[in-house]
Amino acid sequence: MKNWSLLILSCAVLSLSLLGCTRRESKISGTIDILPELQARLSPQAVLFIVARPVDQPSGPPALVKRFTQPFSFPIQFELTQQDAMIPDSGFSGKYTITARIAQTGSATPLSKGDLEGKAHLQSIPVGSKNLQILLNTVSDPNSKAPSLFQHP
């Protein structure tokens, strides 16, 4: 009987360690950088927001948001995880679009003239992705007919 118990325990430990080795990390990570000529435009109250939206849900509130306050030291390393979810315990899997915005007023909404925006080059980023690069290279103008990267229809 002791041999069976030891064998079952050994199998359980082996199974758990194998699961840990093959489990994909539930995060998306990368860096945010800014064009040097735009860095000079930062207001003292500016805040950086990184937003993730499921690819199949382009409208409505974002799934995840990470907020960075000043002082900024570019490039900024980031990780989006379940802890950044707008709705706790909503799950973090699948593919996302990732955008970044520096809100000059410090408020996530509404979009203000002069806010700085950037997006990941890939439009469908799977959870587990690393080394994502986003360049803040667009100055927003809410009065413009051009759509903002941060707001979706």
Cβ contact 54:100 at 8 Å: no
Q: What confidence score (pLDDT) does residue 24 get?
A: 52
pLDDT in tens, 23-78: 456 999 999 999 999 999 999 999 999 999 999 987 888 999 999 999 999 999 99
Q: What is the CATH number of domain 25-139?
A: 2.60.40
Q: State the number of CA atoms in the 13 A half-sphere of 65 facing the CB.
A: 14
pLDDT value of position 12: 39
Query: Three-class SS of residue 17?
Result: helix
Report the alpha-carbon distance of residue 9 to residue 43 in Å, rounded: 60
Q: What is the pLDDT of residue 90?
A: 84
Residue 142: the pLDDT is 73
pLDDT band at 146 (very low <50, low <70, confident <90, very high): low
The per-residue pLDDT for 88 is 87
Phi-psi region of 94 (alpha: psi -120 to 50; beta: other; left: phi over 0): left
Q: Which of 6-20, 26-40, 75-89 has the lowest mean pLDDT?
A: 6-20
